[in-house]
Structures are given as structure tokens and as C-alpha cells.
Structure 1
Amino acid sequence: ERERLERAAGLRTHALVAVSSSLLMIVSAYGFADVMGVSQVSFDPSRVAAQVVSGIGFIGGGLIFVRRDAVRGLTTAAIVWVTAAIGMACGAGLAEVALVVTAGHMVIVFIYPKLAARLPASRYLSFAIRVVYEDGRGILRRVLAESTALGFSILTVDTHQLDQPVSGAAAVAVTLEVQGRPSAEELTIGLEKLDGVIEISALDLGRNSD
């Protein structure tokens, strides 16, 4: 499923995680039987298995990428985590538990997305809006305040100084990515009323959000 969707971790990665986790669990459970009970030896063999959790944390961290406001790799990291847990259960001799968790994992990965696709779409829309305004008049603060007052959440703010004056004045362009129930037209109308705003254009990102 991960390879089909061209994600970071595929069949070999998951197989290696499961096998290595199972082996470490076996070593933790049975690898120190010959020294258990020796009076001069004091140790906790379960610490070997505990290191699997730490190791999978490093692998999961390497699978998660953040680009602007988009986070990728969370599902893959979670699946690798589950794979390690299943491998540890197998190594501990808990085959029934491993089978049940594997079945639950398959349901979540393959069936749940199809069920989620049938749910009604959220009424929260995300879109980007570009506002050109006169520089040096505190317009950006008013733009952000007006957007919030109209019921929008501001996701990203990207500003840059324009090389050429607009309407004879130095100007700045800001691109806002916002999310909310009102339409882009309502936000545009609200921002057009602000003194110092020169130009507004909206772009629908074409996605809904929960």
C-alpha cells in the first residue's frame, strides 16, 4: 500500500522493521537465560526490547517532512511504528495478538479511507488571496484584523515589496492563505473597503478542511 502510493517506506522497509523488532524481542526474552539467577549478575533484559521503541522513533522522525503548512509522512511513520509493535509481539510469542493487530491495521489502511471518502465534505474552505496595498501605512495589520473579524483563520502570510510603484505610491503585495466558512467574495468585499488597499485577487485552492 505504501509502495503503491509512492510513499517513503515500502515493503522491504516494513519487513526489515518487523523482523528486526521480533529478533530483538526474542533476544530480550530468551537471550540471557544462561545468566539469569546468578547472584553476582544484576540486569534488566527488557531494556533491549525497550530500545526498539527509541529506534523506531528515529526512523519515524526521518519519515516525516514539513513543507510550508503541509505535513507528509505521518501515516507512514505510524505504520512503521505498528509494524515494529507487531514484530515485538511475534518475538514475545503473542501470535494471536499480532494477528489481531495486523487485521486491524489492514482495515484502517485499506477500508477506512474509502469510508472517509463517503463522509460529507467540510464547509470550511481554504483559498489564497493576494492584496496589494500602500507601504508605510500599517495596512497589513488592518488586513489581518479584518480577515479575522470576518471569521477566517490565517494559515500563511507571505509579503514582498513591489519593484514598481502602483498608482504612484510604493506598494507591498501580501499573499494570505486563509480558511473559513465565508466565501472568497465576502473577504474580497471586506478588504476592498480598507483605505490604502490598491488591488485584491483571490485564488481557490480547491480543497476542503476538517
Structure 2
Amino acid sequence: MRIAEYAAPLFSPGSGQGTRQFAELGIALLLASLIGLERELQQKSAGLRTHTLVGVGSALFMEVSAHGFGVAELAGIRQDPSRVAAQIVSGIGFIGGGLIFVRRDAVRGLTTAATIWLTCAVGMACGGGLPLLGAAATVVHFLVVRGFPVMTRRMAVAPVAEQVELRLSYRTRSGLLGRVLELCTKRGFRVTDVQIDAESPPRGGDSREKGKHKEAGLVLSLEGKGSAHPIVEELTDWDGIRGVGLRAHRDSTE
């Protein structure tokens, strides 16, 4: 009987475990899922599951902070839900920091990390009994992430410098590398990176084969304001070029 008496309050739908608290968790689940779905469709590192768990977890932390400490009602102890809220804000930085990385002097993942931070705030708002503010913050997320890029592209006066990767295989010892670099600079592109993968001669091969041409792979990172397709068209007519490919490569903070 004593065990039943102690366990009964744990499953009682009273203060802190009523319809309002479950509704707040449900709203946090919905709003966080909407934000996570947008990130999932953009194929970001933190997608639907991450954002949903962050939002619901933050809401639950707020519920525990506001209603879970019955001992705080004792004389001389004052309940302070803001203490748990402050720990949520600082703790979410570990997840955001893990999403940011640097590649070729370009920082990536900042927008996704900021979205995780915003989702945490949305969950805290829902758990704190402010679902309208959480819904408004969700609308702001879609406005910033989806609407701002369209607006900035329309406001841009000068053409934006495009970054592309030119991949080709060519015959070595024919002077093609210098000619390719010269062609790119003449077309108004700046070569930011050069990677060469030369094939090693086969083992046990004849020594007379050492003087012959080999095939090598070349990857050029180009930056310019024009189109790189004329470069590809011209390179396809060159002797010694075995294959040419072009891939768009734009570093961003997403």
C-alpha cells in the first residue's frame, strides 16, 4: 500500500502533467518538424530527426523546470525556471558547434547551426506556455531561409563570382598543363586550386616505356563571373585531352 501511495502522484494528470503540458509538447513537435523538414529537403547535415528531437527536448526541459520541482514550494526555496532555460541555451551550442566546419577557407554549416539554435528556442517557447511566439519564430525561419536568398539575388547589381571545378584527363609530357592554365586565365577565371593525379607506371614494365606518355587526371578550381562552358568546348578539340568535365562548386554558409 505504501508503494502505491508514493507511485500514485507520478502518474496523476494533475499539475505539470495535464492536457496543457501535452498540448505544448505536441505544438513543439509540430513546429520543430516543420523546420527540420525544410532542412531535410535541402539535404543538410542536421535534418528532420535532429531538429524534431531538439525542439521536443527543449520543450520538455522547460516543462520539467516549470512544473517538475515540487520541492521548490517548500518554505525558503524559490522556484526559478530560468536556471534550466539558461542551461539549455548554453548546452545546445555543442550540437551547433559540431555542424560547423571549414573547407578550403570557406565556413560551412553556420545556417544549419543557427537553425538548431532557433529550433531550441521554439521548443522552449512552447514548453514555457508561449506557443504563439514559437509559431511566429517558425514563420520567421521560413522567411529568412527561403525568402532572403531570392531577395538578395534580385538586389545584386554586379554578377556574383561563380566557383566551378574543371576536371579533365590529359596526356602528360605534351605541355598541356601550362596551356590549360593559360586558357583559363584568358577567359577571365582565377585558378584557386590545382590537383593532379598522375598514374604510376606498371610494375615490371619495360624500361623503354618510361619515356612514353602517360595519362593524368587534373582538377582545377576556378573562380570567375563568366561561363566556363566555352573552356570545355575548346578543350574537347585539343589533342591529348582524353576527357573534360565541369561541376558547379559554390561555397556557402548553409
Q: Could you say which TM-score interval applies, normalised by the shorter chain?
A: 0.5 to 0.7
Matches within 5 A, 1:82-161: 82-112=118-148, 122=160, 124=162, 126-130=164-168, 132-134=171-173, 151-155=189-193, 157-161=195-199
Query: Is 1:168 the counterpart of 2:190 in the alignment?
Result: no
Q: C-alpha deviations, 1:64-84, integer Å up to 9, x for none?
A: 789999998665544332111
How much does 1:99 deviate? 3.6
Matching residue of 1:20: 57
Distance in 2 of aligned mates of 1:132 and 1:35: 83
SS at 1:134 equivalent: coil
Given the superposition, is the C-alpha separation of residues 168 and 24 from structure 1 closer, same or farther in structure 2, using an over 3 Å criterion? same
Distance in 2 of aligned mates of 1:13 and 1:209: 23
Distance in 1 of aligned mates of 2:86 and 2:178: 50
Distance in 1 of aligned mates of 2:101 and 2:161: 27
Matching residue of 1:204: 246
Given the superposition, is the C-alpha separation of residues 66 and 82 from structure 1 closer, same or farther in structure 2, using an over 3 Å criterion? same
* 8 A Cα contact 1:133 1:199, kept in partner: no
Distance in 1 of aligned mates of 2:177 and 2:54: 50
Query: Is 1:33 the counterpart of 2:72 in the alignment?
Result: yes
Matches within 5 A, 1:4-15: 5=41, 7=43, 9-10=47-48, 13-15=50-52
* 8 A Cα contact 1:124 1:209, kept in partner: no
Which protein is richer in strand relative to its size? Answer: 1
Counterpart of 1:181, as a letter, is K
* 8 A Cα contact 2:190 2:222, kept in partner: yes
Residue-pair matches, total: 197
Which protein is richer in helix relative to its size? Answer: 2
Distance in 1 of aligned mates of 2:146 and 2:214: 54
How much does 1:104 deviate? 0.8
Given the superposition, is the C-alpha separation of residues 5 and 145 from structure 1 closer, same or farther in structure 2, using an over 3 Å criterion? same
Counterpart of 1:33, as a letter, is A
Moved more, 117-126 or 171-180: 117-126
How much does 1:141 deviate? 9.4
Which residues of structure 1 form unaligned runs of 5+? 190-197
Identity over aligned residues, as a percent? 38
Distance in 1 of aligned mates of 2:179 and 2:87: 52
Distance in 2 of aligned mates of 1:23 and 1:169: 67
